């Protein structure tokens, strides 16, 4: 999928839309302004990076359930990425 230019382009477009919508939701929950404050966009980007990392790991090794990987990546992010 990622080797097809048209599919990659669409995946990138959808990723930007998802990040924007997530940032808006975070801004609403935190009382921040998505257009003015960095926080909602930064959190949205970090969350999607965690999700992408879990998915890439799962694609390499499907012996671990994706739900567990998602939980782990988000927990690590929430904990401030402590050194293992």
Kindly report, residue by residue over 14-25, the tens digit of the pLDDT.
889 999 999 999
Give the predicted TM-score (pTM) of the model.
0.80
Report the domain count for the chain: 1
- For 25-80, give the DSSP string: HHHHHHT--TTT-SHHHHHHHHHHHHHHHHHHHHHH-TTS-HHHHHHHHHHHHHTT
Does some domain include residue 32? Answer: yes
Residue 84 lies in a domain: no
The string of pLDDT tens digits covering residues 46-66 is: 999 999 999 999 989 999 999
**Residue 83 is assigned to a structural domain of this protein:** no
CATH number for the domain including 46?
A: 1.10.357.10
């Amino acid at each position: 999928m990622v080797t097809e230019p048209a599919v990659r382009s669409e995946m990138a477009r959808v990723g930007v839309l998802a990040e924007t919508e997530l940032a808006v939701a975070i801004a609403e929950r935190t009382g921040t302004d998505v257009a003015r404050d960095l926080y909602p966009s930064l959190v949205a980007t970090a969350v999607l990076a965690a999700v992408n990392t879990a998915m890439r790991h799962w694609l390499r090794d499907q012996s671990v359930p994706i739900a567990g990987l998602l939980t782990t990546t988000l927990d690590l992010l929430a904990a401030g990425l402590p050194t293992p």
